[in-house]
Amino acid sequence: MALRIYLDHNATSPVHPEVAEALLPFLRDVYGNPSAPYAVGQEARRALNAARVQVGALLGANADQVVITGSGTEATNLAIAGAFFARPEPARRHLVLTAVEHPCVSETCAWLRRVHGAEVTVVGVSAAGCVDPDEVEAAVRPETLLVAVMHANNETGVLQPVAEIGRRLAGRGIRFHVDGVQVAGRIPVAVADLGCDSYAISAHKFGGLKGAGALVLRDRQGLDAVIHGGHQERGLRAGTENMPGVVAMGKAAWVAARDLERNRAQCLQTRAVFDALTERIPRSWRNGHAEQRLPNTVNLCCLHADAMSIVLALSSLGIYVGTGSACASHRQEPSRVLTAMGLTPEAAFCSIRISVGPETTLDEARLAADRIVECVERVRLVTSPEDIGFCDENCPCFLEPAK
């Protein structure tokens, strides 16, 4: 069999075998509409409720706090746009977000500003990719309706101090939304401890199917639906539920909760192999905070080695890594996240994202790491400065790598 080492779990994860098993009946036999009153529908309704319980359990929430959505993106649209359209007074139209949010946050805020008169403040991050709670607090105004801070960044894996930010915002009548898409199923989460009003997750990042997500709510106050139609999800998200996707999400949540500690330990072991690449590759460094980071993510800059070329060279060998956010990788723009951390566009263009999964073995990690070293060497031979832009005297390539 051809080699396949998949190291892009932050883009999406393989469907867990137990999940595939659990959803099969929902492709074949359990086809009822969960809104239907008769037995065939009620069978589906019970499965829907069970999935809601499983998702809640993964995040320390009750089933009635879980709103099923069609994706993580949709969950965040509901949290932000839903809050904006339900705002108590027209003047409460100020939104605060960080410079490293996923487009599902930044583009939703940009649209609300462009089309609906929202005011938006973007809070920067440190060179390590961390948001400072003081800066978030300083950005808040009397008209602030909502603050959005992601729990972990999809490109660097950097974890943000969301619980501290939640504490600072408590009792001020400001909604706090957390995009937890990269975190759910990877490290323990208890949404109640974060002080947030809403927490978005996506099934395909933790062994479920693409096209299913959820928004966990503190309560149902202060939110309008953004998709209108039937009364599904108690009026917060119209549309007949994607039952295979929902059942798969529930099962994936259950499996992830059961295996969390084992998976985390396994990821830390294989991640260490990629962390060590900075010692093997000259003029390379890791982007993002060393400790405050997901157990599975390494963002590696290898100067003068164009990331897209590395990704394609590795792909031809059956090794799959990312060049940053999955949604942005077809755009020839330097990563917003990395440039917000102070990287030059050139350094950002030379950064790859390696995100391991629980099924990644140590042998696979070692083999992939060896191939990455070779590919960087080869790509450096053929990468001309014009390919990735010119560097100036401020570029880190002028500095000796720290020993």
Which backbone phi and psi does 98 adopt, to 5 degrees? -100, 165
Q: Are 130 and 162 in contact (CB under 8 A)?
A: no
Beta carbon nearer to ligand PLP, 213 or 288:
213
Query: What is the spatial distance between Cα 375 and Cα 306, in angstroms, rounded to a whole number?
Result: 11
Q: Are 235 and 10 in contact (CB under 8 A)?
A: no
Q: Is 237 exposed, middle or buried (0-12, 13-18, 19+ CB in 10 A)?
A: buried
User: Nearest distance from residue 59's CB to ligand PLP, in Å?
Assistant: 15
Tell me the sheet residues that pair with 215. 67, 200
Beta carbon nearer to ligand PLP, 83 or 281:
83
User: Nearest distance from residue 151's CB to ligand PLP, in Å?
Assistant: 8
Beta carbon nearer to ligand PLP, 72 or 288:
72
Beta carbon nearer to ligand PLP, 150 or 343:
150
Q: Are 128 and 160 in contact (CB under 8 A)?
A: no
SS3 62: coil
DSSP states of 208-246 as a string?
S-SS-EEEEES-STT---SS-SS-GGGGTS-S---HHHH
Query: What is the spatial distance between Cα 24 and Cα 15, in angstroms, rounded to a whole number?
Result: 12
Beta carbon nearer to ligand PLP, 68 or 281:
68
Q: Which two tokens stand for residue 259?
A: 């295996």
User: Nearest distance from residue 333's CB to ligand PLP, in Å?
Assistant: 17
Active-site position among 327, 391, 395, 397? 327
For ligand PLP, the nearest residue by Cβ is 72
Query: What is the spatial distance between Cα 186 and Cα 264, in angstroms, rounded to a whole number?
Result: 7
Beta carbon nearer to ligand PLP, 196 or 303:
196
User: Nearest distance from residue 271's CB to ligand PLP, in Å?
Assistant: 18
Query: What is the spatial distance between Cα 72 and Cα 215, in angstroms, rounded to a whole number?
Result: 8
User: Nearest distance from residue 285's CB to ligand PLP, in Å?
Assistant: 23
User: Nearest distance from residue 268's CB to ligand PLP, in Å?
Assistant: 20
User: Nearest distance from residue 98's CB to ligand PLP, in Å?
Assistant: 12
Q: Is 395 a catalytic residue?
A: no
Q: How many helices (H) and strands (E) would you count in the chain?
A: 14, 12
Provide the 10 A C-beta neighbour count for residue 279: 10
CA neighbor of 163 nearest in space, from 127, 185, 144, 187? 187
Beta carbon nearer to ligand PLP, 72 or 195:
72
**Where does this chain bind ligand PLP (CB under 6 A)?**
71-73, 102, 104, 150, 154, 179, 181-182, 202, 213, 326
Distance separating the N- and C-terminal Cα atoms of the chain: 41
Which helix (H) or strand (E) segment holds residue 338: the answer is: helix 336-340
DSSP3 helix / strand / coil % (the chain, rounded to 5) = 45, 15, 40
Token pair 């867990």 is at which residue? Answer: 16
User: Nearest distance from residue 334's CB to ligand PLP, in Å?
Assistant: 18
Beta carbon nearer to ligand PLP, 43 or 241:
241
CA neighbor of 353 nearest in space, from 306, 380, 321? 321
The answer to whether the Cα torsion of 49, 52, 57, 63 is positive or negative is negative
Q: What residues are annotated to the active site? A: 327
